Amino acid sequence: MIGPHSYRLFVNPRWGTPGVVVLPEGGFRRAQEEITSWPGYAPTPLRELPPQGFARLAYKDEAERFGLGSFKALGGAYAVLRVVLAELARRGIRTTAASLLAHPRPLDITLTCATDGNHGRSVAWGAQRLGARCVIFVHEGVSQGRREAIAAYGAEVREVPGNYDDAVREAARQAEAHGWHVVSDTSYPGYTEIPREVMQGYRLMAEEALDQLGEPPTHVFIQGGVGGVAAAVSVQLRARRVPAKLVVVEPEAAACLLASAEAGKPTSIPGELPTLMAGLACGEPSLLAWQELERAAHAFMAVPDAAAVEAMRALRALGIVAGESAVAGLVGALLAGRDGALGLGPESRVLVFGTEGATDPVLYEQLTAA
């Protein structure tokens, strides 16, 4: 599907050592029950790709998730609901998610977050569905198309100088100053409960994929930004007792999880993080995600942008729409598979997650047009 490319691979020496429970089962059951009850819920398709020398290459296609175009619809919007219910309870207002969703009314509650695009869209959608206000912080590199997609859900979009991590800090500062609620997809010391709910929502994607696969995978490749979705997939594999090797794949220019694995501790990459894979352009690992991945990820990879563009084109030729941040896992599987690394071979059943569709249609056309 793609030509040869150089890549970095680090096999995790701490793989399999016992650690803390990052996402308790009760929280997942609650998220699953809630999200599967939303109007428009349906499992996204699992597509069989030409197996590329493996026994099977399955692609979980998130392009149509709730009409938002990415798996992030599962996390931010769910956490928004939890935050709003908690805030209303604090004010002595007892209600339920079902009643709020059925009868949205203007709420004097403001949600905020930083985003590369997809998380902000999910938070804005979640807030609009409930009648809450929403302010989303984007860094300079977030495309116009992605800003407009967020604003279309009624959110105010504000630009912050710097990169994603600078926008995270600005959202936290503004929330503190105005009494807003931060619904972040990344966690840091002192801020873990809401990102935990976000990640519980993501687990549903892995749960569906494992149901759809039937025979369990031997290898799972998942792209990493701050690591939240990779950690959620990891937890779900363990919850289902699937002993697959989990490989986290990042862009070459923003491989903070790989750098953390090499250093044996959370490690940041400062600066501009120049990668096309906008959703993965994160320089600081999420604390919770790191607590899971530091011992549960079998390996970490970093792959070049050029390989991602080739994979997007190859998928398009197969009738599958995949955005720039959707294909790093697939690229990792193809490059490692070609070299027979990580025990990959003709017996391998490989699962990858296509985490977004054309979330910026103009850019998608530019990158994939023949």
Ligand X SMILES: Cc1ncc(COP(=O)(O)O)c(C=O)c1O
Would you name the residues annotated as active-site residues?
A: 72, 116
Q: How far apart are CA 350 and CA 245, in angstroms?
A: 10
Instruction: Look up residue 36 and give its two tokens.
Output: 């599967």
73, 124, 150, 226: which one contacts ligand X (CB under 6 A)? 226
Nearer to ligand X, 185 or 310 (CB): 185
Q: Does 283 bind ligand X (CB under 6 A)?
A: no
Name the minimum Å distance from CB 52 to ligand X. 21
Name the minimum Å distance from CB 92 to ligand X. 35
Three-state secondary-structure class, residue 330: helix
Residues 6+ apart with CB under 8 A from 210: 216, 236, 237, 240, 242
Q: Does 224 bind ligand X (CB under 6 A)?
A: yes
Q: Does 57 bind ligand X (CB under 6 A)?
A: no
Q: Does 223 bind ligand X (CB under 6 A)?
A: yes
Q: How far apart are CA 330 and CA 1, in angstroms?
A: 10
Residues 6+ apart with CB under 8 A from 90: none
Name the minimum Å distance from CB 54 to ligand X. 22
> Residues touching ligand X: how many (CB under 6 A)?
21
Q: Does 70 bind ligand X (CB under 6 A)?
A: yes
Nearer to ligand X, 227 or 283 (CB): 227
Q: Does 122 bind ligand X (CB under 6 A)?
A: no
Q: Does 121 bind ligand X (CB under 6 A)?
A: no
Name the amino acid, one letter, at 91. Answer: R
Nearer to ligand X, 195 or 337 (CB): 195
* Window of 43-51, 82-90, 267-275, 278-286 that interacts with ligand X by CB under 6 A: 278-286
What dihedral do alpha carbons 138, 139, 140, 142 form, nearest 10°? Answer: -60
185, 207, 292, 360: which one contacts ligand X (CB under 6 A)? 185
Q: How many CB atoms lie within 10 A of CB 220?
A: 31
Q: Does 325 bind ligand X (CB under 6 A)?
A: yes
Q: Does 356 bind ligand X (CB under 6 A)?
A: yes
Nearer to ligand X, 228 or 332 (CB): 228
Q: How far apart are CA 300 and CA 278, in angstroms?
A: 19
Name the minimum Å distance from CB 366 to ligand X. 18
**By the 8 A CB rule, do 348 and 221 touch?**
no
225, 283, 332, 337: which one contacts ligand X (CB under 6 A)? 225
Q: How many CB atoms lie within 10 A of CB 366?
A: 9
Binding mask 10-49 for ligand X (x = CB under 6 A): ----------------------------------------
Q: How far apart are CA 349 and CA 333, in angstroms?
A: 11
Reported as type and span, the H/E element at residue 350 is strand 349-354
Name the amino acid, one letter, at 305. Answer: D
Name the minimum Å distance from CB 45 to ligand X. 16
At 320, phi and psi to the nearest 5?
-110, 130
126, 251, 279, 337: which one contacts ligand X (CB under 6 A)? 279
Q: How many CB atoms lie within 10 A of CB 146?
A: 23
Reported as type and span, the H/E element at residue 247 is strand 245-251
Q: Which residues bind ligand X (CB under 6 A)?
A: 70, 72, 116, 118-119, 185, 223-230, 279-280, 282, 325-326, 355-356
